[in-house]
Amino acid sequence: MKIGFVGLGNMGRAMASNLLKGGHQLVVWNRSPDPVQALVEQGAVAAADPAEAFGAEVVFSMLADDKALREVLLESGLINGLKGPLIHINMATIAVDFADDLTVRHQEKGIHYIAAPVLGRPNFAASGELQILAAGPGDAIDTVQPLFDLIGRKTWRMGDKPSQANVMKLAVNFMLASAIESMAEASVLVGAYGLQSSQLIDLISNSVFPGPVYSGYGKMIAERSYEPAAFKASLGLKDVGLALAAAEREQVPMPLAELVRGNLLDATAHDEGHMDLAVLGRVAERNAGRN
């Protein structure tokens, strides 16, 4: 199958590489040239512009945020020149309202639009172990399921409306940020009483909260190790903000999300947005006057 891929950050590049390993023809585009060249060396074809990548049967986009996707797809006029048959799979975490807008725009052009944000860090992307949250036309998802199987361990179908996948991803990321916030505050509390953060993390990750979130992020908080970032605090801020916007649309109160967003704003105000989401541990120490 001829596939286009637009957006080759750490996640996108790893997913594109796995599609190549699956024996597919791949046409790739990225703003910066280095990731493109790396994939060309693996057998991909470099696209001169995004339109060339969108000339494939199926195109994946993995751009950083709403702004980047608007610029590439809408503001450039690219979408006006597209036509079916084409399946566009957007794997970025974007606003629910924007997802609904994109769905309508694609339908008007006779293009199948699938939202498929993922759960997992770049190392999971490299090993093809991502969790894929897919929503959109069922027959289109059936068509691209073999491609999803190359980049993910499991595909979770969220419904026929693409934005449902985005809502689920935002809910998960909100829960992730909230778990890190709770670990951060609890670590400061036990530290105030002469205990070590590492003791707390060892206890909870081997008893009441087993799993990678508490053991992984907890270890980073305990060691005050926030770089290199696998999930930047600035991206966490974006996602929690998008979750709050989705909540406001349906009049769903999310007071904890407001608190987490405030602390992520604190991190960015202190020039820590490039650090891992675990930097909420530093924010908690700062708020307690113990940094």
- Tell me which residues are annotated as active site: 169
Which of the 8 DSSP states describes residue 74? I
How far is 121 from 224, CA to CA, in rounded Å?
A: 20
Q: What is the largest CA-CA distance in the chain?
A: 64
Dig out the tokens for 58 from the structure: 């199926």
CB 96 within 8 A of CB 249: yes
Residue 222: closest CA among 256, 195, 257: 195
CB 140 within 8 A of CB 165: no
Beta-strand pair 118-119/130-135: antiparallel
The helix or strand, by DSSP H or E, that contains position 58, with its residue range, turns out to be strand 58-61
How far is 73 from 81, CA to CA, in rounded Å?
A: 10
CB 28 within 8 A of CB 46: yes
Burial class (CB in 10 A: 0-12, 13-18, 19+), 60: buried
Place of tokens 């005050």: 224
Q: Which phi-psi region, left, alpha or beta, contains residue 241 (left: φ > 0; alpha: ψ -120 to 50)? A: alpha
φ/ψ of residue 14, rounded to 5: -65, -40
Amino acid 233 reads A
Residue 66: closest CA among 112, 108, 115, 18: 115
